[in-house]
Amino acid sequence: MQQLFSHLARVNCDSREPFARVIANEKRSWTASATLCYVTSSLQEENVFLLREMAMRRRGMLFLLKEEMKKEDHRFVDMLRQSGISVSILSPHTMRATLQGRGE
């Protein structure tokens, strides 16, 4: 599980279409009860605004894997939490310890 989260957080989108637009198009086919679980190591403004918009209609969770938070990261996290998005900030070390404690 740790390797999966770590990989998902660090992989770069190589699509010609921005990730936020891909998700915006995909969400049309989701059921109303679907929850978005977003795993990343960096927050971009475009994705933050998409997540905030989606929070108006469905639940969302963000797992942010970061060693050090910058001022902008804190601002984005605050915006997301105020929108109802559940945000978990994990360093790779914290994540490793958490998953090892579960036996994963």
SS3 76: helix
Most confident listed range (44-48, 55-59, 88-92, 93-97): 44-48
Q: What is the CATH number of the domain that holds 37?
A: 3.40.50
Instruction: Specify whether the CB–CB gap between 104 and 2 falls below 8 A.
Output: yes
Q: Which residues contact 24 (CB under 8 A, 6 or more apart)?
A: 50
Place of tokens 């699509």: 15
- Distance CA(102)–CA(83), nearest Å, equals 30
- Distance CA(10)–CA(6), nearest Å, equals 6
For 77, the token pair is 């996290």
What is the span of the domain harbouring residue 93?
2-102
pLDDT tens digits, 30-69: 777 788 888 888 888 988 998 898 888 778 889 888 888 9
How many structural domains comprise the chain? 1
- Model pTM score: 0.71
